[in-house]
Structures are given as structure tokens and as C-alpha cells.
Amino acid sequence: MSVAGGMQRDIRRLGLFTGKRLLALFLTILVGVYLTILIANMGGRVDDLRMVQIQGQVSEMVRADPSFQDMPSEERNALIQRQVDLEVERLRLDQPFILRSFDYLYRAMLLDLGRAEQMHSDSGSRQVYDIIVERLPATLLLFGTANLLVFFFSVYIALSLSRRYGSAMDRSVIALAPSSAAPAWFYGIFLILLFAFVMPILPSGGMVQAPPPENPLLYALDVLRHMLLPVLAMFLSQIFISIYSWRTFFLIHSSEDYVEMARAKGLPDKLIERRYILRPTLSPIVTSFLLMLIGLWSGAIILEQVFSWPGLGTLLFQAIGHRDTPVIIGSVVIFAYLLALTVFLLDILYAILDPRIRIGGD
Amino acid sequence: MGRFSALSELRNYPSAIVGLGIIAFLVSLAVYTVIAIPYDDALDKWRGGEQWRLYPVNASPVWADRLWGGRAPETQVISSRDADIERESFEGGERLFIPLRVDYQAGDFPSEMTVFFDADGHEREPFARLVWRTPDGREMPLGGSRIASQDRRSISQDRALEQRLGLVPHIGLLATPDSEAGAARVQTGEYTLMLDVIVFQEDADFQAELVLFGRVHGLAGTDHQRRDLMVALMWGTPVALAFGLLAAVGTTITTLVIAATGVWFGGWVDATIQRLTEVNMILPLLPILVMVGTLYSTSIWLMLGVVVALGIFSAGIKMYRAMLLPLRQAPYIEAAQAYGAGNTRIILRYMIPRILPVLIPTFVTLIPTFVFLEASLAVLGLGDPVLPTWGKVLNDAQSESALYSQYYYWVLSPAFLLMLTGLGFAMLGFALDRIFNPRLRTL
């Protein structure tokens, strides 16, 4: 009975905690997205640019149309003006920005991201949501793979290095750690140089070959081939610093008194590692894993650009080039949601892993 | 342990010494660059144009060629000022025979051949006929034409000549007589370009320059606009160091002051700062920078401002807060309060200096992050519009598909300098980390 009661209390507290965190995160996203909308508008500059663009496009269209060729110029100018007004009304550029900004915010929070002004998805949809969702899997695939690889490799290697601390392997990893000062795209350039040009065995960019293979198995293999270099670039730029910091972390923890005690008792190394080192350090490990994810969401643009990977980063870059405000805001909203989701997961995992949060509270 | 003894302890770390050496090299290179090529000069040079007309297009560095045992030609300029000109006067004008002699010993053909004329002040345009004489005595007429005041004749682009030779002119003219397309060999020796010029005004000046553009140039090579890459590689150093240092100082100091203020005042101030930090975590830095770059200006100082502004409420605040919290109750701060120190004084003189040593390593490792950030922006095409930087060289190389055309030096040399900067600061930072972080000292 007391055990069940304890469980119930735990769940209630966890629920309360979750609710509070969700509310806080919601407010955070709200403010963050609104700031983005303000920044994306650049103090009315974007509107001016779009006005010029509309004016240019409409007059181009009218002039190119042979049926308006014989029209007197005054009449034609009036026609152009009417068309421009219609377009302005469609994009609601005649309303004050403040009004539009709250409207953008409301719809952005509901993930109703609106229609793109210039861009469209590969399947032809003009909905910003479709455009982004189409690109999301590519980004998730690439960065998910690379991050998981880096994370598990580094924790595993760091554990074994901390056991053999001071060995030649250990020293060389420490010596290599500063190489992580360079970002992934930087290694990407070298990898492209080496494996796509000097030894042309791998593709220099893109996600699948053109035309894509029909057979799903061949398709997957081809994507894998294209993923190899970008993943390797991210792996190279992260792995050594990652191993280094985990190694230091484990070393500090393995000199704790209770670990020394376990050693003195003569417990096997594997058991000490699992129960005495990994278990108490689990929450910092998970934290840093998720923090790494946060860092990589926004670092993706250039790597995707260098490898012409059709992901969110490339999309955002193209959208900025087209001055397509809905797409820009849409991508940032998605970025914000992804980040907030990560932070939320972090909080929940924390609450589960760290008994102090579960039991504490009121 | 005092701070100075900590610094002298650096001697025990080889990586710190290497790092310091690299930084010292970069700083001296930066200082030398700023003195040797003044700012305005550098901007003017990087703008390109006529001043680079005697430089080859996409020549690789000399040392790279010589290292692999190559004997690729450097640019040779033969001016009529050094030639023995024969003059023959006639009624209403003068006939000049200008022999431009080239001693060609390189193992490869030039990349381009052009004759530049300088015929200012002629009322009636002079007429020049060109004849090419090879070391084995063959003569090839290259045609004649009127010469405008600042004229040039690109021999490489002479289609008629190319048809006649069966080879691109700058190869065909220097090849052995039995050469065929695809397997031409260089005939070394003394060539002569004979200019047979008729001028109609004896007092006006007439000069010609034959340029055999090389395939290698200088220490750094040249780019697609004939600019010497050395200008950008050298000027990239002070720009990168200044950007990295200023951005690191700007973000670290503002963040630190804000974190300390939050900790000292506590309550709603602290709560606001915490929430702002969380909002800031959601704002993606790079997309915003890209946005500012495309919509406003790509000036490096504007970028610096945005980086610092967005860095103020960075995640670092959480870390500093954790370090500062225990200090709040420290006896020495209570003592300061007792003697009547104000809030500002306590924050700036008592709290911040206390955690500064722990921050030095972070600060040093932060510098290359910003150096690479600047390069990243440039690679995205958002580099400073006028300043030559390493990132812009990389961007040019990428947009001209340097890797595809095998101009590897174009990518490798700026990349090498970036890597050097990154490594130098990172190595020093890591060593400092081990010295200043007490928990790492015993490891």
C-alpha cells in the first residue's frame, strides 16, 4: 500500500512538474517566435523590398502581355496600379505591421504556417508546412545519425580510456582534442576534396543520384552512400572533443570515495563501471546529449549547404534568398519547436533520472 | 597559487607552447600585414581590375609546383623599353622594328599570351604587324592591325591562328614543329616577337609589352580575377583575429556582468534574466545572422554587433550563475557590504574578478569559434563586401568550383590558415583549462 502510494505521489509530482515546464516552455516559444517575426521583418525593410518586387513583377507581366500592347500608356499604368493594389491586399501589406505580426504569431503557434510567397515544395504545394515537412526527414536523418554515432562512440571510448588513463591512446586523444575547433563543414571541404575529386569514389553532394533508383533497397543504399561524407565530417569535428570531455568527466567521477570503496571490495571492473560510474552520472550524460542536439540544429545550415543536402538548413537559406517571409518564419518556428521539444525532453528525463526532483517539490 | 605562477606553469605543457607559438606567429603576421599593406591599399587591391592585368588567371603557388618537381612557367613580361628598336623615317611618319626577345626555359606552356600596346597621343592610329620567330628559325606571321591608344591583342584568342596551327596559339607557338594536338612538347630557347610598326607621328610615344602568362605565381597563387591570393591570405589574419577577439571579449564580458547582476540582486531580476536566456536559446543564431546579412548589409562590423547582441543572453549565463551563486554568501562580500560598498562595486570588483581565472580557458577556446563563424558566413556568400578574408577566398573558390577544376591551392591555403588559428587557440585553451581548473589538476 505504501509502495503504491509512493508511486502515485511520484506520478502526481511528475505531472505537476511537467505541466509547469510545459507552460514555461510555451511562453518561451511564444516570445522567441514573436522576436523572430520582428527580426524577420527587419523594421519594415522586408515590406519595402517586397513592394518593389511586386511592382516590378506586375509591370513586367503587363508589358509582356501582347493584348495590352496597344493600350495607351496612362491606361496601362492604371492597370498596373490596380494589379499592384490587388497583390498588396492579397499579401495584406496595406495593414500595419503590428496587426500582421500578432496574426503571424497566432498562426505560427498553431503551426498554421500559411502559404509561401515564392517557393513551393517538390510536390508542388505552396503550403509552408508542406515545404518544411518535406525537408525535415533529410535533416533528421543526417543529424540524427551523426549525433548518435558521436555520442555512443565517445562515451564508450571515453570509458575505456578512463580505465587506461595515461596510456599512449589516452595521450593521443588529448592531443587531438583541439582539432574540434574547426566546424564540421570545414572537414567537409577536405573530405569532398579527398573522396570526391582526388579519389572519386563518393559523390560530392546531394542526397540521391539523379535519377533516383526505383528499387527501394537501392535507393536506401544510394542515400547511405551520399550520407557517408557529411556524417564523417560531423563525426570528425565532434568526436575528439567529445571523448576528451567524457574521459575527464569519468576520471573525476571514478576518483569518488564510493567508487574507491567498490574497488576495495574487489568488485569487477565492468560492474564498477555500470553501477558505480555510469548510473550516478546518467543525468549529466543525457543532458549533454540533448544539449549537443540543440547546438547542432542551428549549425546545420552550412554543412547542408556545402554538401547540397536538401534539408531544413538549405531551405532556410533559399527562403532568405527569395525574401519569402512566411517560409523564414516557418522554419524558425520549426527550429524553435524542435529546440523546445529537446529542452522539454531534457526536463522530463531529468525528473525521471534524478530522484531529487521526483521526491522534492513542495 | 598565484595567477602568475599559473601562467609560468604553462611551460610544462608542450601543447601550450606550440599554441602560443602559433598565436605569436599569427599576431606578428597580422601586424606585419597591416603595416606592409595599409587598409585602403588592401581594399583597393582586392577590388581587382586593371592593376592585376599582368597576373595570370588561376595560377597555383610556385612552391607547390616545384615541390612535385614541376617546371611550370612564371609570368614573363617583355617590354619594348628594353628592346633594341630600329627606326626608319619616311615622309609623314616612321617605321619601327621592335624585337621582343623571350628566353623560354620552362617545362610547360604559358597559360595565355597577350601583347599590350601603349600608344598615347597619336592623331592617326599606328599600324602594327606581328611576326613570331622560333628558336629553330621558323617564322609565323600573326597578322596586323591598327592600334588604339591603350590597346591589347590577345594572341591566345586568335581563332584564325588557332586554326592555322591546329593548336591553341599559346601552345602552338611554343611547341616543337612535330607536335600534335594533345601531345605537344615545349621547345625551349630564344623566341622573338617582331613588331613591325608604322607610326604617323614621330614625337608620340609607342610602347609594347609581350606577356606570357605563367601557370604558377608567388607564394599563394592567383584567383579567377587574376588577384594575388597573398593579399587576402595576409589580410585575412588581422581580420580573423580582430573579429574572434572582439566577439569573444564582447560576449564573455556582457554575459558575465549580466550573470553577476542577476545573482547579486536575485528575485525578479534573476528570474527575468533566466527567462530571457531561455528565449535566447530558442533563437537560432546563424539563421538570424544570415537574415541580417541578406537584408541589411554584410559588413563585418554589423555582423560582429549582431553576434555580440545575441551572445549577451547566451547559455553561458547558466554556467556563470552556477559559479557565482556560492560567492553571494561569501564572507569577503559580506565584509565589503559592511564597509558600505555599492552594488556596482560588489559586482564588478568583488564577484567577477573572483571567477575570471576559471573563465580564461573558455575565453581562449571561444576565439576560434568566432573566427570560424566569420568564415562560415563568408562561405554562405555573406562575407564583408570589401574586406579580403579567408572565408571569402573559400567562397570564391567554391563558386568557381575550384575543386572540380583541380585548383586545390585555392581551397587549401585559406583552410590551412583557418585550421592553424583554430588549433593555436584551442591548444592554448586546453592547457590553460588543465592549469586553472582545480579538479583537472590532479589528472
Write the ipTM: 0.76
Residue A123 lies in a domain: no
Q: B403 at the A interface (CB within 8 A)? A: yes
For the segment B11-36, what is each residue's pLDDT rounded down to a tens digit?
Answer: 888 888 999 999 999 999 999 999 99
Half-sphere exposure of B85 (CA within 13 A, CB side): 19
Residue A208 lies in a domain: yes
Q: Do B291 and A39 touch (CB under 8 A)?
A: yes
The whole-angstrom distance between A62's CA and the closest CA on chain B is: 28
Residue A362 lies in a domain: no
Q: Do B284 and A179 touch (CB under 8 A)?
A: no
The grid coordinates listed for A69 are 500592347
Residue A361 lies in a domain: no
**pLDDT over 80 (residue B373):** yes
| Boundaries of every domain in chain B | 3-42+227-436, 73-213
**pLDDT over 80 (residue B80):** yes
Residues A138, A229 within the same domain: yes
Neighbour order of strands in the sheet with B93-104: B86-90, B93-104, B189-199, B127-133, B139-146
CA distance B63 to B51: 24
- State the average pLDDT over residues B63-78: 85
Residues A71, A156 within the same domain: no
The predicted structure's pLDDT at residue B247:
92
CA distance B17 to B20: 5
Residues A53, A156 within the same domain: no
Residues A29, A149 within the same domain: no
The predicted structure's pLDDT at residue B313:
83
Last residue of a domain, which of A109, A137, A164? Answer: A109
Residues A100, A200 within the same domain: no
Residues A169, A257 within the same domain: yes
The predicted structure's pLDDT at residue B25:
94
**pLDDT over 80 (residue A116):** no
Residues A244, A272 within the same domain: yes
CB contacts under 8 A, B 359-388 vs A, are 365, 368-369, 372, 375-376, 379-380
Last residue of a domain, which of A75, A109, A143? Answer: A109
Q: How many helices (H) and strands (E) does chain B have?
A: 17, 9
CATH number at residue A247: 1.10.3720.10
Residues A135, A186 within the same domain: yes
Q: Are A129 and A111 in contact (CB under 8 A)?
A: yes
The predicted structure's pLDDT at residue A361:
44
**pLDDT over 60 (residue B137):** yes
Looking at the domain that runs over B73-213, which CATH code has it been given?
A: 2.60.120
**pLDDT over 70 (residue B354):** yes
Residues of A in contact with B292 (CB under 8 A): 42
**pLDDT over 80 (residue B62):** yes
**pLDDT over 60 (residue A360):** no
- State the average pLDDT over residues B366-370: 89
Residue B39: what residue type?
Y
**pLDDT band at residue A362 using 50, 70 and 90 as cut-offs:** very low
For the segment A280-339, what is each residue's pLDDT rounded down to a tens digit?
Answer: 777 777 777 776 776 666 556 788 888 888 888 888 778 877 777 778 777 777 777 777
Computed over every residue of chain B, the mean pLDDT equals 84
Residues A72, A197 within the same domain: no
Give the total number of structural domains in chain A: 2
Residue A178 lies in a domain: yes
Residues A101, A138 within the same domain: no
Out of B372, B411, B442, the one facing A183 most closely (by C-beta) is B372
- State the average pLDDT over residues A39-54: 71
Residues A72, A200 within the same domain: no
Residues of A in contact with B291 (CB under 8 A): 39-40, 42, 320, 328
Residue A71 lies in a domain: yes
Q: B405 at the A interface (CB within 8 A)? A: no
A75 is in which domain, residue-wise? Answer: 3-109
**pLDDT band at residue B301 using 50, 70 and 90 as cut-offs:** confident
Query: What are the distances in angstroms from CA B13 to CA A131, A300, B19, B428?
Result: 52, 35, 10, 9
Residue A211 lies in a domain: yes
Is 2.40.128 the CATH classification of the domain at B3-42+227-436?
no
The predicted structure's pLDDT at residue A46:
67
DSSP A354: -
Helix axes B300-311, B229-265, angle to 10 degrees: 20
Residues A30, A133 within the same domain: no
CA distance B170 to B192: 14
The predicted structure's pLDDT at residue A92:
72
A62-71, B8-17, B321-330: which has the minimum mean pLDDT? A62-71
Q: B68 at the A interface (CB within 8 A)? A: no
Residue A114 lies in a domain: no
For the segment A135-189, what is each residue's pLDDT rounded down to a tens digit?
Answer: 888 888 888 888 889 888 988 888 888 877 778 888 888 888 888 888 888 888 8
Q: Is the peptide bond before A211 cis (omega within 30 degrees of 0)?
A: yes
- A197: number of Cβ within 10 Å: 15
Out of B285, B375, B415, the one facing A298 most closely (by C-beta) is B285
Q: Are B431 and B10 in contact (CB under 8 A)?
A: yes
Q: Do B282 and A299 touch (CB under 8 A)?
A: no
**pLDDT over 50 (residue B152):** yes
Q: How many CB pairs under 8 A join A and B?
A: 136
Q: Are A362 and A32 in contact (CB under 8 A)?
A: no
The predicted structure's pLDDT at residue A1:
46
